[in-house]
Chain A
C-alpha cells in the first residue's frame, strides 16, 4: 500500500511535471517562432542591404595571411604621418585602439606602438552605410589594413600622438581579429594612480597586468619603459666598448655556489646537482687573470632569495664590470661612475619622449646627477646620519631606511640622485674584499646609489692567494669549496676591482618607478613563474 501510494504520488508529480514541461515547450516554441521571424526579417534586411551596398569590396575580414602573395604595397608608419603627407593616398597597418560610431560616420583611433592617429569612415561616395557599421564593429585591438587619404586638421587632435593630421578611410580590412572581451583595457592600464579613484574609473592592479603581460606591454608606458631599458643596455655596451672593455659570456650553470652558498638555486645535472650562477664574479675575475684587462658582461643572474619586496627579483639582468687597475682602486670607481654618467646623459638627451611618457602615468622628479660623480666615505655617511638623529655603530651596515635617509640628506646638500659611498667596514663585506691599507676596520669597497637605493656593490678584490686564504679562513669558509677560485690567483694576478649593476633596478630608479616588476618584461619572483 505504502508503495502504491508512493507510486501514485510520483505519478502525480510526473503529471505535474509534464504540465510544466508542456508550458515550457509552448513558450519555447513561441520564442523560436519569434526568433525565426526576427531572423527572417534581419536576413531580408541583410539581403536588401547587401544588394545595394556599392562599397562591398572595400571592407571585410581578409583571409588569413598565409603568404599567399607578395604585394609590393608600401605601408606607412603612423609616426611618419605628418602634414607633409597631406592629400596622399596611403596604406597603413595598425591596431584599432578605439572606435566610436556616430550616425553616418565612425571615428577610429589607429595605434602603432606608442603612436596613434585618428581615422574616419563616413558615408559618402566611397563608403557605404554598411561599411561604417562594419568599421564600428571591429573589436578593439584587432589589426587592420587601411587605405586612406591623409588630411590636415584645423584643430589639433589632443588625444592622439599625431595631432596635425587625420585619415579618411577608403578601404579597411581586418587582418587579425581580437576577441571581443579583453582581460584589461589599455586606457585603464595607463591611468595614473589616484586619478581613477576620483572619477570612479578603473585602474588595473599589478597582478592582472603581469598575468596579461602581452596586452599590458602594448601600453604607451610599457613601450616607453622597455625602449628606455634597451637604451640603457646599448649605452652601457657602447660606453664600455669605447673605453676598451671586452664583452665576455660566462656560464650560468656552475658547480659551486659563488658567494657564500646561501641564496642559490639547485638544479639537477645528470647524476649530480649544479647551481644557477648568482653572479659572474668568479669568471670575470678569471678573465682578468687571463689578461683581458677590462671586461664586462650582460646576462641573467639568479638569486634564490625568498623576499617579496618592490626591488627583489629571483632572476634579473646583471650588467657586470671588472677591470685591472694600475695603482689605486679609485681608477675602477672612476671608470664605473663615468659609464653610469654617460648612460644618464644618453638617456637625458635621447630618450626624453620616453621619459615624458612614463612620467604621465608615474610622475617623478627628473633624475639629477653630477659629473664627475660625488664620492663620500662611509664614516662621513655615518656622521651625517648621526647628525640627523640616527643611532648606529661605526661598523654597522646601512639598513634600507637609513640608505633612503642618507639619499635624502645627500640630495638636499648636493642635489644629486647618484653618488658613491666608499670605504665600507670590512666586517660587512664578502671575504674576497681587499682590506684598507691604513685602517684594518675598513675596506677598499664601495656601493653606488640611485635615488637612495643601492644599485651597485663592488670592491677591490684580493688578488693574492695567501691573503685570500687567510680571509676565507677568517670568514670560516670551507677552503675545499673555493679551491679553484683561490688557485686562479696563484700564477700572477693583476690588481683589479669591479662591480655589478641590476638593469631592472637602474631603469626603475632612473624613471622613479616604485616596483622593479614594472621594468622587468617577464618578472620572476618567489610567487611568479609565468608568463
Chain B
C-alpha cells in the first residue's frame, strides 16, 4: 500500500462541451482506468489487516487504563472516606502518617496555581508577630511539606529584639539540601516581625499582600486541595474559618461557649465540620480551640473530633508551640 486512496470526487459520466476550435486527443487516463478496480474494492469493502491490529492494540490499552482507574478509585475510597479515618483513629495503633500523604487528592499544579515558573523559587513570605504565632499556618506548612519540596526558613526581622527559641525552630529542622535553593518547588519563609496583623507576600509585582491569618490559610490550603466545588460547602468552610478566628481566638468566654456548642452539634451529625472530608475548617477550628485554652472543657463530640484531628499527624508543630 504505497499511497492512500481517495474516492472519485465526481461521477464517471460527464459530458463536457468541448469547443470545436481545438483539436482532439485521446484520453490518457482511460487506459489506466481498468487496472484500478481491485483497489477500489479495498477502499469500499473490508479494512486492511495492519489497521485492524492497531485498533485491537488500542482497545486493549484503553481497557487496561479503565481497570487501573477503577483500582485507584477503589483504593482512594477506602483511604479518604472519613469513616475509614475514624476507624483508624479508633484503633489508633496504626500510624496516621501512612494515610496522610494521600489525604488531599485533586489536581493541584503549582504552575496553574501560582503562575508560570520563571526560574526563581516561588517563595511565600509570611510576616508574623511573635506574640501571636500562626498555628494554622504551621499545620498547613507541614501538609505542604508532604506534598511539595518546600524550602522552609525562619528569620527574625530587626523590628523584633528577641524571639523565643521554639519560634525559631517551628518549621522543623533544616532541610539537608537547603544550600541549593533551586532544588525546591516552593519556598516558605516565615519572618517574625513587629506587624499588627499577619501578612503574606508572594509576588510583589502582580499581587498585593494578603492580610490576616484566616486569609493566608485559605491561600495556602488552595495549594493543597481545591476548595469544594459546591458553593454551599465552600461557603460553609469559609464561615467556619471566620468563626474560628473572630469568635474563638480572642473573644469573651461567653461567645466561645456558644461556638463550642455549635461545633458540638455539627460534629454530632458528621465526623468533620464540613461535608465528609477533613478540610481547612477543621484545621482552623482545631488551632483556635487549642489556642483559646478551651480544649479540656470542650463538649464530648468536640473532644472526639479534636482527637481525630490530632491522629492525622499534621498538628505536631502546632502542638509543640502550645506547650
User: B-contacting residues of A (Cβ < 8 Å)?
Assistant: 328, 330, 344-345, 348, 366-372, 374-377, 379-380, 382-384, 386-388, 409, 412-416
Partner of B121, one of A366, A380, A415: A380
The reply to whether A348 and B120 form a contact with Cβ atoms under 8 Å apart is no
Contacts of A386 in B (CB 8 A): 118
The smallest C-beta distance from A417 to any residue of chain B, in angstroms, reads 9
Known: A379-B182, A413-B125. A370 touches B118 (CB 8 A): no
Assess whether B64 is interfacial by the CB under 8 Å rule: no
- 0/1 interface trace, chain B 146-175, chain A, CB 8 Å (1 if under): 000000010111110000000000000000
In the complex, residue of chain B having the shortest beta-carbon distance to the beta carbon of A341: B158
The reply to whether B157 and A415 form a contact with Cβ atoms under 8 Å apart is yes
CA distance A386 to B189 in the complex (A): 22
The smallest C-beta distance from B65 to any residue of chain A, in angstroms, reads 38
The reply to whether B181 and A377 form a contact with Cβ atoms under 8 Å apart is yes
Contacts of A375 in B (CB 8 A): 181
The reply to whether A415 and B179 form a contact with Cβ atoms under 8 Å apart is no
Chain B: how many interface residues by the 8 Å CB criterion? 23
Contacts of B189 in A (CB 8 A): 374, 414
In the complex, residue of chain B having the shortest beta-carbon distance to the beta carbon of A366: B158
Contacts of B204 in A (CB 8 A): 409, 412-413
Contacts of A384 in B (CB 8 A): 120
Contacts of A369 in B (CB 8 A): 157-158
CA distance A376 to B125 in the complex (A): 13
Contacts of B156 in A (CB 8 A): 370-371
The reply to whether B127 and A383 form a contact with Cβ atoms under 8 Å apart is no
Since A368-B157, A370-B155 are in contact, a sample of 7 more A-B pairs with Cβ atoms closer than 8 Å, ordered by chain A residue number, is: A330-B179, A367-B158, A371-B156, A376-B181, A377-B182, A380-B120, A387-B120
Most chain B C-beta atoms within 10 Å of own C-beta, residue among A367, A371, A374: A371
The reply to whether A368 and B205 form a contact with Cβ atoms under 8 Å apart is no
The reply to whether B182 and A388 form a contact with Cβ atoms under 8 Å apart is no
Known: A370-B155, A382-B119, A413-B201. A328 touches B125 (CB 8 A): no
Contacts of B203 in A (CB 8 A): 387
Contacts of B157 in A (CB 8 A): 368-370, 415-416
The reply to whether B155 and A372 form a contact with Cβ atoms under 8 Å apart is yes
CA distance A376 to B153 in the complex (A): 12
User: A-contacting residues of B (Cβ < 8 Å)?
Assistant: 118-121, 123, 125, 127, 153, 155-159, 179, 181-182, 189, 191, 193, 201, 203-205
The smallest C-beta distance from A491 to any residue of chain B, in angstroms, reads 30
The reply to whether B118 and A383 form a contact with Cβ atoms under 8 Å apart is yes
In the complex, residue of chain B having the shortest beta-carbon distance to the beta carbon of A381: B120
CA distance A415 to B155 in the complex (A): 11
Q: What 5 pairs between A and B have smallest CB-CB spacing?
A: A383-B120, A370-B155, A383-B119, A380-B120, A383-B118
The smallest C-beta distance from B208 to any residue of chain A, in angstroms, reads 11
CA distance A374 to B191 in the complex (A): 10
The smallest C-beta distance from A500 to any residue of chain B, in angstroms, reads 23
Most chain A C-beta atoms within 10 Å of own C-beta, residue among B120, B125, B127: B120
Partner of B127, one of A348, A367, A371, A415: A415
The reply to whether B155 and A379 form a contact with Cβ atoms under 8 Å apart is no
CA distance A383 to B179 in the complex (A): 19
The reply to whether A379 and B120 form a contact with Cβ atoms under 8 Å apart is yes
Contacts of A367 in B (CB 8 A): 158
CA distance A527 to B203 in the complex (A): 45
Q: Across the A-B interface, how many residue pairs have beta carbons closer than 8 Å?
A: 64
The reply to whether A388 and B205 form a contact with Cβ atoms under 8 Å apart is yes
Partner of B158, one of A368, A374, A376, A388: A368
CA distance A370 to B192 in the complex (A): 9
Contacts of A330 in B (CB 8 A): 179
In the complex, residue of chain A having the shortest beta-carbon distance to the beta carbon of B191: A370
23 A-B pairs with CB atoms under 8 Å apart are A366-B158, A367-B158, A368-B157, A369-B158, A371-B155, A371-B156, A372-B155, A377-B182, A379-B120, A380-B181, A380-B182, A383-B118, A386-B118, A387-B118, A387-B203, A388-B205, A412-B201, A412-B204, A413-B123, A414-B125, A414-B189, A414-B191, A415-B193
The smallest C-beta distance from B96 to any residue of chain A, in angstroms, reads 33
CA distance A186 to B155 in the complex (A): 43
The reply to whether B205 and A387 form a contact with Cβ atoms under 8 Å apart is yes
The smallest C-beta distance from A372 to any residue of chain B, in angstroms, reads 6
Contacts of A413 in B (CB 8 A): 123, 125, 201, 204
Contacts of A374 in B (CB 8 A): 155, 189
The smallest C-beta distance from A336 to any residue of chain B, in angstroms, reads 15
CA distance A434 to B119 in the complex (A): 23
Contacts of B118 in A (CB 8 A): 383, 386-387
Known: A387-B205, A413-B204. A379 touches B125 (CB 8 A): no
Known: A369-B158, A370-B158, A387-B205. A328 touches B193 (CB 8 A): no
Contacts of A344 in B (CB 8 A): 158
Contacts of A371 in B (CB 8 A): 155-156, 158
Most chain B C-beta atoms within 10 Å of own C-beta, residue among A348, A380, A383, A409: A380
The reply to whether B119 and A415 form a contact with Cβ atoms under 8 Å apart is no
CA distance A237 to B89 in the complex (A): 58
CA distance A201 to B282 in the complex (A): 67
CA distance A368 to B157 in the complex (A): 7
Contacts of A412 in B (CB 8 A): 201, 204
CA distance A33 to B158 in the complex (A): 76
The smallest C-beta distance from B309 to any residue of chain A, in angstroms, reads 33
CA distance A413 to B121 in the complex (A): 13
The smallest C-beta distance from B84 to any residue of chain A, in angstroms, reads 42
In the complex, residue of chain B having the shortest beta-carbon distance to the beta carbon of A333: B179
CA distance A257 to B94 in the complex (A): 69
The smallest C-beta distance from A459 to any residue of chain B, in angstroms, reads 15
The reply to whether B159 and A379 form a contact with Cβ atoms under 8 Å apart is no
Contacts of A345 in B (CB 8 A): 158
Contacts of A372 in B (CB 8 A): 153, 155
CA distance A344 to B191 in the complex (A): 18
CA distance A414 to B181 in the complex (A): 16
Contacts of A370 in B (CB 8 A): 155-158, 191
The reply to whether B191 and A379 form a contact with Cβ atoms under 8 Å apart is no
The reply to whether A379 and B201 form a contact with Cβ atoms under 8 Å apart is no
The reply to whether A368 and B159 form a contact with Cβ atoms under 8 Å apart is yes
CA distance A374 to B125 in the complex (A): 12
Most chain A C-beta atoms within 10 Å of own C-beta, residue among B153, B158, B179, B204: B158
The smallest C-beta distance from A277 to any residue of chain B, in angstroms, reads 33
In the complex, residue of chain B having the shortest beta-carbon distance to the beta carbon of A328: B179
CA distance A414 to B158 in the complex (A): 12
The reply to whether B120 and A415 form a contact with Cβ atoms under 8 Å apart is no
Contacts of A366 in B (CB 8 A): 158
CA distance A344 to B158 in the complex (A): 9
In the complex, residue of chain B having the shortest beta-carbon distance to the beta carbon of A422: B181
Contacts of A387 in B (CB 8 A): 118, 120, 203, 205
The smallest C-beta distance from A435 to any residue of chain B, in angstroms, reads 15
The reply to whether B158 and A380 form a contact with Cβ atoms under 8 Å apart is no
CA distance A492 to B168 in the complex (A): 39
